[in-house]
Amino acid sequence: MENDDRIVGRLLSRREALAVLGATGGALAAGAVTGVAQSNVDGIAAPSCIVRPEQEEGPYFLDERLNRSDIRTDPTNNTTKGGVPLALAIVVYQAGAGSCRPLEGAVVDLWQCDADGVYSDVRDPLFSTVGQKFLRGYQLTDASGTAHFTTIYPGWYPTRTVHIHFKIRTSRRTAGGLEFTSQLYFDDKLTDRVHASPLYISRGRRPVMNNRDSIFRGGGRQLMLAPTAEDDGYRATFNIGLAIA
């Protein structure tokens, strides 16, 4: 059986902004890697650094420059998107010289669909939300490398499994810094439980699970969130590093 998430060692350019798990550090050369770590395969213990795959940006990224932690609201009309709350922390590390240390001042953008599978400020064959700004925003990482967001558990739309988009930039000027873009995913069983709640149930069962999503199959298992229940919602932390020359 083919393992779509297995990492193959190769040279990576600086522009690719290699992402690795930064919880315990690891040996990386700035700008290029000759022996990348692999995830836990066939019972072999994983090394301290695990490559996170970059994934496509998709058609709905907009650099709205909305500096805010709670992205549930729409600042154009002060409405708040309903859904099961999700407190999400993205912890960014700078990997290199044999260690991973927190990266302060990185720009972390988040964007996602609402409980009905709709993105804001776009024109789509199924909807038009031009001018609205819900479920979009960015934060700068603090001294611990952390960007905190309050959002909702995403809904679904017909062509994709449930996911959240994120982008990390070391500079607002793309040419002057590194940029890494990818997506976050959820366990299918958890999604089914959440989508059975009154806030989501009216849309029915989603047609695409993780293993049927072509983008997820390109490394999604290494981009999974592991939310824990909290009050009326969930909390999750995602650790990621950037190899910066």
Mean pLDDT over the full length of the chain: 80
Task: Write down the CATH superfamily of domain 55-90+97-237.
Answer: Aromatic compound dioxygenase (2.60.130.10)
Instruction: Indicate if the pLDDT at residue 46 is higher than 80.
Output: no
Q: Which amino acid is at 151?
A: T
**How many whole angstroms separate alpha carbon 170 and alpha carbon 157?**
31
Tens of pLDDT, residues 182-205: 999 999 999 999 999 999 999 999
Between CA 102 and CA 215, with CA 221 as vertex, the angle to 5 degrees is 105
Tens of pLDDT, residues 94-147: 876 667 788 899 999 999 999 999 999 999 988 999 999 999 999 999 999 999
pLDDT, greater one: 25 or 56: 56
Mean pLDDT score, 146-152 = 98
DSSP H or E segment with residue 195: helix 188-195
For 77-128, give the DSSP string: TTEE--S-EEEEEEEEEEEETTEEEE-TT-EEEEE---TTS--SS-EETTEE
Q: Where are the domains of the chain?
A: 55-90+97-237
Question: What phi, psi does 180 have (nearest 5°)?
Answer: -130, 130
Instruction: Indicate if the pLDDT at residue 8 is higher than 80.
Output: no
